[in-house]
A = this chain, B = another copy of it.
Amino acid sequence: MAPPETAGYQFNHTMIRVKDAKESIAFYTDVIGMELMSEYHNNDAKFSLYFLAFDRSDGKDTKEDKDNAKFRREGVLELTHNHGTESDAEFKGYANGNQDPGRGFGHIAISVDDIQAACDRFESLGVRFHKKLTDGKMKNIAFILDPDGYWIEIVPKNFS
């Protein structure tokens, strides 16, 4: 039983840093299918935050509804963009968490109804794969890479 003091707590969001905000937002909206719910720009400290999530309102939520919901639901992805990294030749990119040094974070995962259709579409869109469905022992999951090289597991909802 969860402690009663934690009633109402939600696992609201996961934050990752991205090199190029435009490229990452395009990926998470056009390829993955999330929507940009809210954004925040701090030009003094030179960073921007972007909050994305899958729309669960069948398009009924207004822009204000989405902005208000950003800390009141689960399944939100926050992208932090430090201004300038996208055009800084010295910037070496972010660690994806799966190699030393820097091992720790592993991946985010998107669950889908039809994993074969999802992976076929990712292939047709030119998405980079870390593991295709046909690779390795586990034929029922795949890993694609986002623009920064973070791993995204694609898993069927009826995984067994």
A2 touches B106 (CB 8 A): no
Give the residue among A12, A96, A103 with the most B Cβ atoms within 10 A.
Answer: A12
Task: Using known A-B contacts A11-B34, A74-B75, determine if residue A94 contacts B101 with beta carbons closer than 8 Å.
Answer: no
Residues of chain A at interface, number, CB under 8 A: 63
| Contact call B59/A32, Cβ cutoff below 8 A | no
Q: A2-B34, A71-B156, A72-B157 are in contact. Are A11 and B53 (CB under 8 A)?
A: yes
Q: Decide yes or no whether A54 CB sits under 8 A from chain B.
A: yes
A116 within 8 A of B: no
Given the known inter-chain contacts A5-B117, A6-B33, A59-B1, please indicate yes or no for A80 contacting B106, CB distance below 8 A.
yes
Contact check, A112 vs B2: say whether CB atoms are below 8 A apart.
no
Asked if B54 and A10 sit within 8 Å, CB to CB, the answer is yes
A129 to B73, CA, bound (A): 24
Known A-B contacts A54-B2, A117-B5; A12 and B109 likewise in contact (beta carbons under 8 Å): yes
Give chain A interface residues in 59-83, CB to chain B under 8 Å.
59, 71-78, 80
Question: Within 8 Å of chain B (Cβ to Cβ): is A35?
Answer: yes
The 5 residue pairs across chains A and B that have the minimum distance between CB atoms:
A6-B33, A102-B102, A74-B75, A105-B105, A94-B104
Name 27 interchain pairs, CB-CB below 8 A, sorted by A. Answer: A5-B117, A6-B32, A6-B33, A7-B33, A10-B54, A10-B157, A11-B54, A11-B75, A11-B77, A11-B108, A11-B109, A12-B155, A13-B109, A15-B105, A15-B107, A15-B108, A17-B105, A71-B111, A71-B155, A71-B157, A75-B75, A95-B95, A95-B104, A97-B97, A101-B101, A104-B148, A104-B150
